[in-house]
């Protein structure tokens, strides 16, 4: 008898859809992936829905409504493995900038009838709500790392995604350090690798898409930036982007807030 294909589900919460699009962006691998896995629930790609349980759930987006805070528990219960993909799911995303402000004021800036809008005060990562088996970082995720994660879970091994900083990737590529050589304030030393040190190869300083690396020394980096003439308000903005609510970046930004 043919072996049952493992069932893959893709779920969306508050996000831009870019990380799940990464799966469709695997133009060369997509049909092979579909051959190996049963794509059981992936609304962006298919109207067919196969009931759970699922062998692997990919979760994109952050929790921003009470309905979503409930929904994620159902998904966890239906999933053998749950992997969060992207900065929204792993850190709350750019929409977590509300966490530093009064969300009611935000609603009234955009919507004429605030009473129609239902939202939580904070945008939070999935791991704040349920147990997560693995977090894949990035804004957006790197599609090759996504294929690695799928392959790892299919084969019962740990995904091979390096936890070191973007700096190591610059060295691996032979890219000259933009901070040392060009005096550009760069987030590379505290940012997790995964993008392939893209920005420095385009003559631009890292701006932290992949969020904090493990054990980032953010205060030391801030001191360097300050010596380069970067103001406190610019430091706050630098740490407050797509991974603003990731603990090390949040803490560092608060240190520089007046």
Partner 1 sequence: MKSRAIKVDYLARVEGEGGLLIRMKGHQVSEVKVKIFEPPRFFEAFLRGRKFTEAPDITARICGICPVAYQMSSCHAMEDALGVKIPAPIRALRRLLYCGEWIESHALHVYLLHAPDFLGYEDAIRMATDHPTEVRRGLRLKKAGNAIVNLLGGREIHPINVRVGGFYKIPPKSEFLALAEELKWARDAALETVRWVATIPIPEFERDYEFVSLRHPDEYPFNEGRIVSNKGLDIAICDYEQHFAEEHVAHSNALHSTLKERGAYFVGPLARYSLNFDRLTPTAQEAARSAGLGSVCRNPFQGIIVRSVESLYACEEALRLIEQFEMPDKPYVEAEARLSTGFGCTEAPRGALYHRYRLDERGLIVDAKIVPPTSQNLKTIEADLLQLVPANMGMQKDRLQWRCEAAVRNYDPCISCATHFLKLHIEQE
The residues of the shown chain that bind partner 1, judged by CB under 8 A, are 12-19, 21-22, 24-25, 27-28, 30-31, 34, 39, 42-48, 64-65, 68, 93-95, 97-98, 101, 103, 105-107, 109-113, 116-117, 119, 139-140, 195, 198-199, 201-204, 207, 209, 237, 241-242
- Dihedral (Cα; 67, 143, 98, 122), 10-degree rounding: 40
Residue 255 CB partners (closer than 8 Å, separation 6+)? 219, 222
CB of 248 to partner 1, least distance (A): 20
What is the side-by-side order of every strand in the sheet holding 7-12?
38-41, 7-12, 54-60, 79-85, 134-136
Strand residues in 66-225 grouped as ranges (E)? 79-85, 134-136
* Residue whose CB is less far from partner 1, 153 or 242: 242
* Residue whose CB is less far from partner 1, 133 or 177: 177
CB of 153 to partner 1, least distance (A): 19
* Residue whose CB is less far from partner 1, 15 or 218: 15
Residues 126, 128, 133, 135, CA torsion sign: positive
Query: For residue 217, what are its two tokens?
Result: 């020394």
* Residue whose CB is less far from partner 1, 45 or 255: 45
Q: How many Å apart are CA 244 and CA 107, to the nearest integer?
A: 20
| Nearest alpha-carbon partner for 139 in 203, 91, 99 | 91
CB of 30 to partner 1, least distance (A): 6
CB of 27 to partner 1, least distance (A): 4
Q: How many Å apart are CA 95 and CA 243, to the nearest integer?
A: 10
Cα-atom radius of gyration of the chain, to the nearest Å?
20
* Residue whose CB is less far from partner 1, 119 or 222: 119
CB of 213 to partner 1, least distance (A): 18
* Residue whose CB is less far from partner 1, 218 or 241: 241
* Residue whose CB is less far from partner 1, 151 or 201: 201
CB of 115 to partner 1, least distance (A): 9
Residue 234 CB partners (closer than 8 Å, separation 6+)? 185, 225
CB of 194 to partner 1, least distance (A): 11
């Amino acid at each position: 008898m043919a072996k049952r294909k493992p069932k893959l589900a893709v779920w969306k919460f508050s996000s831009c859809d870019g990380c799940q699009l990464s799966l469709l962006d695997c133009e060369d691998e997509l049909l092979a992936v579909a051959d190996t896995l049963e794509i059981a629930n992936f609304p962006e790609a298919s109207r067919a829905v196969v009931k759970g349980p699922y062998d692997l759930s990919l979760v994109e987006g952050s929790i921003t409504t009470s309905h979503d805070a409930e929904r994620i528990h159902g998904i966890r219960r239906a999933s053998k493995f749950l992997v969060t993909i992207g900065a929204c799911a792993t850190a709350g995303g750019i929409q977590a900038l509300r966490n530093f402000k009064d969300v009611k004021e935000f609603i009234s800036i955009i919507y004429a009838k605030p009473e129609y809008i239902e939202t939580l005060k904070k945008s939070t990562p999935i791991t704040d709500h349920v147990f997560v088996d693995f977090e894949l970082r990035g804004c957006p995720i790197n599609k090759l790392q996504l294929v690695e994660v799928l392959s790892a879970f299919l084969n019962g091994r740990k995904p091979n995604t390096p936890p070191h900083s973007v700096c190591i990737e610059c060295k691996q590529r032979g890219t000259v350090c933009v901070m040392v050589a060009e005096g550009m304030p760069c987030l590379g030393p505290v940012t997790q690798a995964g993008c392939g040190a893209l920005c420095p190869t385009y003559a631009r300083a890292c701006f932290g898409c992949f969020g904090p690396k493990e054990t980032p020394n953010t205060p030391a980096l801030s001191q360097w930036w300050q010596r380069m003439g970067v103001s406190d308000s610019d430091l706050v903005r630098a740490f407050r982007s797509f991974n603003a609510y990731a603990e090390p970046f949040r803490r560092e930004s608060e240190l520089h807030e007046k």
